[in-house]
Structure 1
Amino acid sequence: MKRIFKRSMMMKLNIKQSLLMAALLLAAVIVGCEKDDNHVAYGYTNIFMPQATSTGGTTVNYLVPAGKDSATYNYKVDAKNNKVNVMLGVERAGLQSNDAFSVSVISRADTAAQVVAGGTLGNTAVVLPVDAHTIPATVDVPDGANQNTFYMSVDLAKLKTYTGKKLVACVALSNPTKYQLNSAISKTVVVIDVSALKLP
């Protein structure tokens, strides 16, 4: 009788241990199915200009023209409106939700002048006159998106008078309605090699 009782207790103990092990295994599987850290929304969400990263972080210079052909050039000629439109953009990095935001766009002639005076672009570099180009006052990034494109429009007739020169302008972002600016790459120094453009 004692043996039967002992055997019965051992079986109950084994069943309890098996159930405990099964519960632990199930918990491990559930935890393993949760999203890993690279999908967790943490840290700061920064707004920047992707063109400011085109040199891989050595400068914020953005060379125009770039691209292999008319389909991939970073500018478009609008002969009808006498403009050359240089492609620029606003982008939001980070894992937070893609809420809509707006950001102001400003021209920084003082920064362009400093770059020209520094001499790194050679002796053909000159500041693009303020009256020779326009930029939008603001750029909106809609809900659900993380980027948008805008243009710096340069007067085509004025551009042609600078053949043989590199025109330098600085375009910067400011006053975002949401998130914060990445100060290191929230401005872009646009360097237009006029002679290299395919102009009509």
Structure 2
Amino acid sequence: MHMKLTYNRTIIFIFISFLFVACTKSASEEEYGFSKIYMPQAILKSGGTDNNFPVPSGVDSSTRNYIVDKPGKKVHILLGTYLSGPADGAYAVDVAVNSDTVQQMLSNGTYNPTLYREMPASMYSLPSRIEVGSGKKGGAFNVSLSIDQLKLQEYAGKFLLLAVKIANPTQYELNTSLSTTIIVLNVDALVIGPRKDFVGAQYLKNPGNPFIAADKQPGQTRWGNLKDWTANEAARSHGGFGGFSSDNSGTMNMESGWGSPQILNGKIYQTVNLPAGDYYFDISGGNWAGGENFLKAQDPAYSIVAPGLDTLPDYNAILTTAGIHYQLLVKPPATQPLINFQLDAPGKVTFGVVVNYTQTEQGFKSKQVFLYTFPNHL
């Protein structure tokens, strides 16, 4: 039932594109009513500047130009044919791949061969012929891709090209300029999918860029307490305040030395409720912006995700606490490792950082934190 509903939506989508193309036909076609067979996807995205059909496209299941069949481990790209003009008789066309077109575009520099590749024949399948009944004008078909092959490391970060053409109509002529559709498949965008952030009022609050202080230490403007985050007594090392500094307009911060005391078992954390999903947490906000000053560490410190807990474990229990996820904070120029974790059911999760600064002149400052997922990940 779901597949039938999806195909109905797809046909509606194709017919909307047909109406768009029909509005762009030349005055001579209006006058004489030429009926020609073409592929709507060859013009749908570019408006006639080229025959490219970017995949993925669309914002939800009713507008995406592909269907994911996870049980079958396939992705189906939606293509079709349409008959312009007043005629509505039955017709059929052959469907084939035009490898020469792709090879020419790679060799002449239209596409950079270091980033773009021709889609291998082992990855796809498609029908050899499509038949359209009398009165129907258009028909749809799939180019089916192997999810297992799409996820091979050799294709990560690449674009795959596939030229699909129609030929040999049993009736009517082809619109030869629109008889080939060039699928331009962004592998990462399809395999990983669009990112969805879980920060803001509903989930992880006060994520930074900049961080906001709930209050500040009296008599100065630098140190304060983070709004919506909890800092334990050890982290509040500046006269009972800590976790926030006004550096760079507002950062999450813990540091010892430079006139500040040791921070023994210092914690900054926040507990939120999340739906089930596959998540990523980054305490550095993508990098330790500003370089060494933002992460100067002698003693190991940890970014931690603790599903099901209301707080973070003590420093000396991090390595032995079951069910938590953690990463060492690493110095630039190394990239801070993400924490990837899964929730099989909705539940509470505590996020944050734990340090044990016994040596002097060390600390971290984070401009922002990230919490996100890829809900359409294959």
TM-score range, shorter chain: 0.7 to 0.9
Whichever residue aligns with residue 35 of structure 2, its letter is: T
Q: Report the counterpart of residue 91 of structure 1 in structure 2.
A: 82
Whichever residue aligns with residue 92 of structure 2, its letter is: S
Q: 2:122 is paired with a residue of what secondary structure?
A: helix
Q: Report the counterpart of residue 93 of structure 2 in structure 1.
A: 103
Task: Give the Cα separation in 2 of the matches to 1:78 and 1:41.
Answer: 44
- Structure 1 gaps, min length 5: 1-39
- Residues 190-199 or 84-93, more deviating: 190-199
1:72 to 50, 63, 78: 63
Contact 1:91 1:146 in 2 (8 A): yes
Moved over 4 A (4+): none
- Structure 2 gaps, min length 5: 1-29, 194-376
Whichever residue aligns with residue 140 of structure 1, its letter is: E
Task: Give the Cα separation in 1 of the matches to 2:108 and 2:67.
Answer: 29
User: Percent same amino acid among aligned pairs?
Assistant: 37
2:118 to 127, 130, 141: 127
Pairwise CA distance, 1:43: 4.2
Contact 1:109 1:130 in 2 (8 A): no
Task: Give the Cα separation in 2 of the matches to 1:99 and 1:109.
Answer: 31
Q: 2:80 is paired with a residue of what secondary structure?
A: strand
Pairwise CA distance, 1:175: 0.7
Whichever residue aligns with residue 118 of structure 1, its letter is: N
Pairwise CA distance, 1:113: 1.7
Q: 1:81 is paired with a residue of what secondary structure?
A: coil
Task: Give the Cα separation in 2 of the matches to 1:41 and 1:143.
Answer: 24
Q: 2:71 is paired with a residue of what secondary structure?
A: helix
Q: Report the counterpart of residue 147 of structure 1 in structure 2.
A: 138
Task: Give the Cα separation in 2 of the matches to 1:159 and 1:119.
Answer: 24
**CA pair 144-41 structure 1, distance change in 2 beyond 3 A:** farther
Contact 1:41 1:95 in 2 (8 A): no
Matched, 1:185 2:178: yes
In the alignment of these two chains, the number of paired residues is 161
Contact 1:45 1:92 in 2 (8 A): yes
Q: Cα deviation per residue 1:23-45 (whole Å; 9 max; x = unaligned)?
A: xxxxxxxxxxxxxxxxx994431
Contact 1:139 1:148 in 2 (8 A): yes
Task: Give the Cα separation in 1 of the matches to 2:156 and 2:50.
Answer: 25
Q: TM-score, normalised by structure 1?
A: 0.75
Task: Give the Cα separation in 2 of the matches to 1:45 and 1:181.
Answer: 9
Whichever residue aligns with residue 118 of structure 2, its letter is: V
Pairwise CA distance, 1:143: 1.1
Q: Report the counterpart of residue 167 of structure 1 in structure 2.
A: 160
Q: Report the counterpart of residue 36 of structure 2 in structure 1.
A: 46
Greater length-normalized contact order (CA 8 Å, ≥ 6 residues apart): 1
Q: Which has the higher helix share?
A: 1
Task: Give the Cα separation in 1 of the matches to 2:172 and 2:31.
Answer: 14
Matched, 1:81 2:40: no
Supply the RMSD in Å over aligned alpha carbons: 1.8
Task: Give the Cα separation in 1 of the matches to 2:111 and 2:62.
Answer: 27
Q: TM-score, normalised by structure 2?
A: 0.41
Task: Give the Cα separation in 2 of the matches to 1:109 and 1:74.
Answer: 22
Pairwise CA distance, 1:116: 2.5
Q: 1:58 is paired with a residue of what secondary structure?
A: coil
Task: Give the Cα separation in 1 of the matches to 2:84 and 2:128.
Answer: 22
Pairwise CA distance, 1:71: 2.2
